[in-house]
Structure formats: C-alpha cells, structure tokens
Chains A and B, each alone.
Chain A
Amino acid sequence: MIHLEKVSKLYRTERVETTALDNINLEIAKGEFISIMGPSGCGKSTLLHLMGLLDEPSEGTVALDGKAIDRYGDRELARVRNERVGFIFQQFHLVSDLSVADNVEIPLLYRKMPNKERRKAALAALDRVGLSSRTRHFPTQLSGGQQQRVAIARAIVGKPGILLADEPTGNLDSQMGDEIMGILEDLNQNEGATIVMVTHDPRMAEKTHRVVRLFDGRQVQ
C-alpha cells in the first residue's frame, strides 16, 4: 500500500546540508498498524510527511497504491491526500475559529458533497470517537484528550484508508493516551484502517504490529 524505496531527504541551506532521512526502504501493507520510533530529530516526522504526500523525497521513490508521488501535480496531490490519507497531529491542529463539527467537516469541503450529507458524516465521525455531545463546542473549550478525538474524527471522516499519526498521545496524560490508542486500535481492527504512528512511548509502540526504528535518519530496525 505504501512503498518507500531508497528514500533520502536532505535539507539544504546556503552553508549547511542536513540529512533528515538516509536510504529508507519500507513496505507497509494494507491493514497494518506500525509505529515509528527513535530519538528526537531522527527523521520520524519527516518520514510520516513523506508517506502522507506532504513532502517530497530528495532521492528515492515514495509510492502510494503502486503510483510514485513524483508523478502527481499540486491538484492531484491534494486529491490523493484528501481521499486516501488522514492525519493526526501531536498538536491537534484544530482550527480555533471553527466549531468541533465544522473542524471535522474540513476534509469533506474539498469533495463534491451536499451540506447535509457532509454534516451527517461529521456527526457520525464524532459519534465514532465518543464526542457526539460536543459538536457545537469550540476547540479551546475541550480538554487535550477531547481535542485529539476531534482530530481523529477529522482524520477518519473521509474514510481515507490510511491514518498517519504524529505522536498522537505525546501531549496527553497516560489515561487519555490510552483512550486515544484504544480508538486507533479499534479503527485498525474493526475498520481495516492502515495506521502509521510516530511515537516516543514504548508502551504505545508495543500495541502495534511492527516497530520501525530510526537513528540519525537511518533505519536501524
């Protein structure tokens, strides 16, 4: 489903060249739940961004469903991100000016869909993460755990098939972290979602099918 071959990512400034990822080879199958671990700055988030088509590799190939992303233009990339990928961020990245339901609707705004249907899907996604009573609230009125649930609802509302979670429990206490992890496991087991999760927490990583370890941009496991 997600295929990375000899992927490297370099960041260049006028003076310095930094290698964020070096020769990564990775195959993620449909329905897998894998975690990416490693110390800060080892390239975990960069790897996730490459898988989510938010960034392009300096070398190598990233392919989604067998098609390399360097063949996509801006519009096509946007369409694939919209239909195939759902992101969950450590910082939640909810739009503070929008209500919970409006935030969840965001991915569906970029699809041809009647307003009523869009709202119905958003409410269903919020129900799925146990937040159907908070639809009219604003993000700042919610706890961290609740905000992350909204972010998960936003990620799954378009039924993308692939969920990319960047330290989804990193900003939460252990109890809330467990709740979020429970939702992700459920999505993987019962709805067949393919999940790639960046985490620092070995306890969370243990619950996934496979762990990919990075060190200084290189894959060590």
Chain B
Amino acid sequence: MIRNYLKIAMKVLLRRKFFTFISLFGVSLTLVVLLVATAMLDHVFAAQAPEVLGDRTLGVYSMTMRGPESIWSGFAGYQFLDRFIRPMTKLPSVEAVTFFSMPGTGISYLDGKKIESMVKHTDAEFWRVMRFNFLEGAPFTVDDDRSARFVAVINEATRDKFFGGQPALGKTLEVDGQRFKVVGVVPNVPILRISPYSDIWVPIGTSKTDAYKRELVGDYTGLIVARSRADFPQIKSEVQSRLKEAEALIPDPKMYKHLDGGADTLFEAASRLFLPGDSETSHSERLFLIFAGLAVVFMLLPTVNLVNINLSRILDRSSEIGVRKAFGASSWTLVGQFVVENVVLTLVGGLIGLVLAAAVLAGINASGLIPYAQLSLNVRIFLDGLAIALFFGLFSGVYPAWRMSRLHPVMALRGRSV
C-alpha cells in the first residue's frame, strides 16, 4: 500500500507543478534560513577544533566595577585573572586555566604596503587548552612567556601575506614596531570562534606596557577548563567568592564599590550580552527560548501556507477520495495516505533545502564576509534539517488530511473526475 501511496505522491507532485513548486519553495527556503542560522550558531557555540574542550570550559568574559554613581564595564582585567583565577588550577575540579587578550589590530608594512593583522596576547597554557593542528613548528612555551621572548604563532593567511605561502618557521615579522620570530603556523580560525580567533598570537609578556598588570577590568578573557560539566556550579561559586575578595583591590573605592562578573559558558555569556538585566539564572534559558521561539514562528509561516495549499490540493482530488471511500478506505487510511504524500513532498523540499543551504554556506565561506569562516552542514545539522522537514510534513499534512477524510463520500464523488 505504501508503494502505491508513494507512486501517487510522486505523480501528483509532478502533475501539479505549480503547487509543488510553491510548497517546495516554502519548505526549502525556510530550511535554508534555519540551517544556515543553525550552522552559524554551531560555529560559534559547539565544541569543535581548536576548542575541543569547549563543552567543559567556563569563561570569565566580562567584568564590571560598580559604584553609587559610576559604572565601568569591560572584559576581565589581567590582575584579577592572574591573582584570583590562575590559582584555581590547584582546585581538583579544574584541569587548566588560560588567559588571552581580545585581538587588537596590529599594523605592519611590507614593501611599502600596509598590512593589518589581528594580534592576540596569550599565555602558554592557551596552546594546551586550544588544540590547534600545527602546520609548522610548535606553540611558544611558558618560558617564552615569562621571559617575554618575541616569538609568534601565525595563521596560514598571515604566512601567505608575509611570506608568500613559503615556510615561515624561524622567519621574523614586524607588527606595531615589534619584531617577532615565527615559532609556529596554524590553520585559520574563523572570527566566530571568538576565543581562539586571531591572525597572530604572541606571549602576554611582549605587551608594550605593563599597565594591563594592574587592571581588574581590562581586555582579557580567562578560560577555566573543568574536569567535567558537573563541576561548573562549584567553579562558578568559587569565582563569585574570588570576585568578592578582589573588591579589596578596587583602585578608587569611593567611585567603585563592587566587582561584578562570573564564570559563564559562551552561550551564557552571549545571553548576558544580548539580554541585559538582573535575572542571573535565566539569561541563557531566555536566549534559548527566544531562538526556539523565532525558529517556531519562522517554521509556522510556511506550515500555515502549506496547510492552505494542501487543503486546496487535497480537496481538488475529492473524486479520488470518494472513490477510495467507496471501495473500502476508512477515514484513517486516507489520512495515512495524504500524510505520506505530504511527508514525501516535504522531504523532497528538505533535500533541496539541504543542498541549497550547503551552497549558501559554501558561498559565505568563499565570500570572506566572515573571516576564515568554515561553515558546514555536519551530520547533526543534517539530522536537524530532516527533523524540521518531517515537522513540516506532519504538521502541514495532518490537518488537511483529517479535513479531507471527513468528506462525505457522496459529496466527494460529486467533485471533479477524470
């Protein structure tokens, strides 16, 4: 019976080309948008190289000094991280701690041509937390950082710009008037991976001034790798208590009295950024609900459209419905038939959507719109897409099929015929 249904489904789709086109267009376009959005979110938040430990990493991203009349917000300050977060490596629940600055633009001149690169200052532990596949050389060491040696790890794009794609190991490059010896080359990291992203990574000790060492609020980020996610609550509460301790170091206690911040997953940090407010616990839940809500609304529109199209498409076949009822089809059998047809339609739309989404992602990767983007449709996204297509198929098919199955056979037979 299913074979017969599939046969009819394909024939109906081919015969009613306009309906088929509109339906497929709606399904595939929605899927493209959802899949591209999912790929972007995946690109930012999912644990993938070099952030393979991302699933059990908390970040101290933002800090705020607050006073009765003043507020100073920024990223974490190095002093706070160095004095209060680095010692957390001794806790049994913590596997590693690393600090790095936000990437800043570094200017170089090569043969009279200005080159802009993103430069990030990191500690040596950064290379243990971020698992880069080195194309050349190796990361700089703890000793390099402590001794403020002018060494650098660069990405492929920087190697191409400075050295024409030739091996760069041992060669030097000048950035913002400082000469660095290249000790390693790594693949490009997309800008959406905000923690590892940069063009050039140099030891923190090579910073031009040591003002950063006195900052509670600055432009650094600290990452804390937990032994497991189950340790997150304990680590978060430990960071909170250390923030309280650090308030004693606030440079101007008359202006600022409190130091706010915390250890968050990247998603929680993003939630806090997009949904400012005081409700500490529900930021990420709210952002998740907003994303889910948007996705549902976005899917609901083509679903409603499909319901309408399906209603007219199915009622157009009232004669067939009458015949099938006359020859022994029960209402539920007919619901099954039309749902199968609709699922076939939406799965075809889903496949088209997947192909189009892959093309769009490849286009974004190639366009340079998002530097070093490596957006791709992975298996999870493919399965998400399939689930979304089935969602369309079932929800847009069940109601029209049910309406149709309620048709009185005599009335149905009075409809169109061959």
Q: Is the beta-carbon distance between A78 and B11 smaller than 8 angstroms?
A: no
Q: Is the beta-carbon distance between A109 and B12 smaller than 8 angstroms?
A: no
**New contact pairs (6) apart from A82-B328, A107-B327, A110-B1, CB-CB < 8 Å:** A75-B330, A83-B328, A91-B418, A95-B418, A109-B1, A110-B330
Q: CA A58 – CA B328 in complex, angstroms?
A: 23
The 10 closest A-B pairs by CB, nearest first: A82-B328, A78-B330, A97-B11, A110-B328, A107-B327, A91-B417, A54-B409, A93-B323, A139-B418, A94-B418
Q: Is the beta-carbon distance between A106 and B323 smaller than 8 angstroms?
A: yes
Count of chain B residues near A, Cβ 8 A: 28
In B320-369, which residues have CB < 8 Å from any A CB? 320, 322-333
Q: Is the beta-carbon distance between B3 and A95 smaller than 8 angstroms?
A: no
A81 at the interface (CB under 8 A from B): yes
Q: CA A215 – CA B61 in complex, angstroms?
A: 89
Fill in one digit per residue for A189-213: 1 if any B CB lies within 8 Å of its CB, else 0: 0000000000000000000000000
Q: Which residues of B contact A17 (CB under 8 A)?
A: none
CB distance from A71 to the nearest CB of B (A): 16
Q: Which residues of A contact B408 (CB under 8 A)?
A: 55
In the complex, the chain A residue whose C-beta lies closest to that of B323 is A93
B4 at the interface (CB under 8 A from A): yes
In B1-54, which residues have CB < 8 Å from any A CB? 1, 3-4, 7-8, 11-12, 15
A40 at the interface (CB under 8 A from B): no
B117 at the interface (CB under 8 A from A): no
Q: CA A185 – CA B7 in complex, angstroms?
A: 35
Q: Is the beta-carbon distance between A78 and B418 smaller than 8 angstroms?
A: no
Known: A49-B410, A102-B4, A105-B4. A95 touches B328 (CB 8 A): no
Q: CA A110 – CA B11 in complex, angstroms?
A: 21
Q: CA A97 – CA B325 in complex, angstroms?
A: 17
Partner of B327, one of A75, A87, A115, A139: A87
Known: A89-B413, A92-B418. A81 touches B8 (CB 8 A): no
Q: Which residues of A contact B8 (CB under 8 A)?
A: 95, 97-98
Q: Which residues of A contact B333 (CB under 8 A)?
A: 78, 110
Known: A78-B333, A96-B418. A52 touches B326 (CB 8 A): yes
What are some 26 contacts across the A-B interface (CB < 8 A)? A54-B325, A78-B325, A78-B329, A81-B325, A81-B326, A81-B327, A81-B328, A83-B328, A87-B326, A87-B327, A89-B413, A93-B418, A94-B323, A95-B320, A96-B418, A97-B12, A98-B8, A106-B327, A107-B327, A109-B1, A109-B329, A110-B1, A110-B328, A110-B330, A115-B3, A154-B327
In the complex, the chain A residue whose C-beta lies closest to that of B14 is A97
B319 at the interface (CB under 8 A from A): yes
Count of chain A residues near B, Cβ 8 A: 36
In A45-64, which residues have CB < 8 Å from any B CB? 49, 52, 54-55
Q: Which residues of A contact B12 (CB under 8 A)?
A: 97
Q: Which residues of A contact B417 (CB under 8 A)?
A: 89, 91-94
Q: CA A109 – CA B333 in complex, angstroms?
A: 10
Q: Is the beta-carbon distance between B329 and A93 smaller than 8 angstroms?
A: no
Q: Which residues of A contact B320 (CB under 8 A)?
A: 93, 95
In B270-329, which residues have CB < 8 Å from any A CB? 319-320, 322-329
Interface-centre pick from A78, A98, A139 (highest chain B CB count, 10 A): A78
CB distance from B330 to the nearest CB of A (A): 4
Q: CA A176 – CA B8 in complex, angstroms?
A: 30
CB distance from B417 to the nearest CB of A (A): 4
CB distance from A185 to the nearest CB of B (A): 23
A219 at the interface (CB under 8 A from B): no
In the complex, the chain B residue whose C-beta lies closest to that of A78 is B330
Q: Is the beta-carbon distance between A54 and B410 smaller than 8 angstroms?
A: yes
